Structure 1
Amino acid sequence: MRLQATITTQGATTFAQCGKPNQTLFRLSAGVPVSDALEYASDLLSCANRMTLQATHGENTEQCAMAAHYLGEMGKAVIDDVTTALLRMEAGHDK
Structure 2
Amino acid sequence: MYKKNILFAIIFLSGLFIGLYINISTVNTLNINIANENNIKEFEEQKIQKPLLTNKITKIKLSSSSLKEIEKEESKNDYLNLFKTYL
Higher relative contact order (CA 8 A, sep 6+): 1
TM-score scaled to structure 2, two decimals? 0.38
Larger Rg over CA atoms:
2
Larger helix fraction of residues: 2
TM-score scaled to structure 1, two decimals? 0.35
Larger strand fraction of residues: 1
